[in-house]
Amino acid sequence: MSTTTGIKPTVVLIHGLWLTPKSWNGWIKRYEKAGYRVLAPSWPGMEGEVEAIRRDPARLKGLTVKKIVDHYDSVIRKMDRPPILIGHSFGGLFVQMLVDRGLGAAGVVIDGAQSAGVPVLPLSTVWSTLSILGNPFTYNSVVSLSPAKFNYAFTNELDAAESKKVYDEFQVPGPARVLWEGALALLNPNAASKVNYRNNDRAPLLFIAGGKDHLVPAAINKANVRKYANSAAITDYREFPERTHHTVGQAGWEEVADFAIDWAARNARQQVTLADVKEAFADDRSFPEPRFTDNDTRA
């Protein structure tokens, strides 16, 4: 995607539950080196360093899917041009919702939590979240995964010791209500995570799944993609067989990052702003005004 000035679109990266924008650090540097402007806003209340969030997780109580999506909506609407939206895990769900609202030039959903009415719940997903969803008293809580659960749900490509290093650096408590809303939406197409699967005017969507993802297995992504079967808008799917839910930081993440941005740039809606049009026609002297002499024949 390019404008009349040849400027590449902005990329907005949206993190998932139990992580912060820090999880995107490698992607940010790689995309900026490729000439993109990159933004990675946090969920509301998750601003700051990992350690600060761990010390004061109470600020995340009451955070809902709608509040988070509305937050990103307000950020994106202030931009001069539609950005490329890339989201991981629950961030992938938010990308679906934002694209359905007419935002973004293209959307990439990486290991994304499913939108409303996708009734697929593999056993590995159940096991990954049972400590929270198995206890209704967690609904309004802010909860962490244990190091062992994190190893199973996110970093199952690593042994326990290596996984603990990732856990210590990146994992933060998260609002359990967001997870509950996702789970309760499986059989409710009108839940907070609702999207219009028949929307023909939305930006193109790419779903990326990991063949070894325990938290959001490929089966969830495939079922989500099938929901869009009756939309004329572009919906693509790509599975990386060896990737886990830790794919944004897992060794070899560069392959996923490059595929995502290449697809998005190639399929992004070509939109030109009013400023682009004015700039294109400013001081246009391609056709000089005609000059007539006495010998000219005038109509």
- Determine the CATH number of domain 11-272: 3.40.50.1820
CA-CA-CA-CA torsion sign (13, 16, 20, 23): negative
- How far apart (Å, rounded) are the C-alpha atoms in residues 214 and 137? 24
pLDDT given at position 271: 55
14-27 pLDDT, tens digit each: 999 999 999 999 99
Q: What is the CB neighbour count within 10 angstroms for residue 62?
A: 12
Strands 174-175 and 84-88: unpaired
Is 280's pLDDT higher than 60? no
pTM of structure: 0.89
Q: Which two tokens stand for residue 221?
A: 């992504």
pLDDT given at position 290: 45
Question: Domain residue spans in the chain?
Answer: 11-272
CB-based burial of residue 230 (10 Å sphere; 0-12 exposed, 13-18 middle, 19+ buried)? exposed
69-122 pLDDT, tens digit each: 999 999 999 999 999 999 999 999 999 999 999 999 999 999 999 999 999 999
- How far apart (Å, rounded) are the C-alpha atoms in residues 252 and 32? 18
- How far apart (Å, rounded) are the C-alpha atoms in residues 187 and 122? 15
Tell me the mean pLDDT in the region 154-179. Answer: 98
Strands 174-175 and 142-143: antiparallel
Q: What are the backbone angles phi and psi of residue 208, rounded to the nearest 5°?
A: -115, 125
Tell me the mean pLDDT in the region 213-219. Answer: 98
42-75 pLDDT, tens digit each: 999 999 999 999 999 999 998 999 999 999 999 9
pLDDT given at position 246: 98
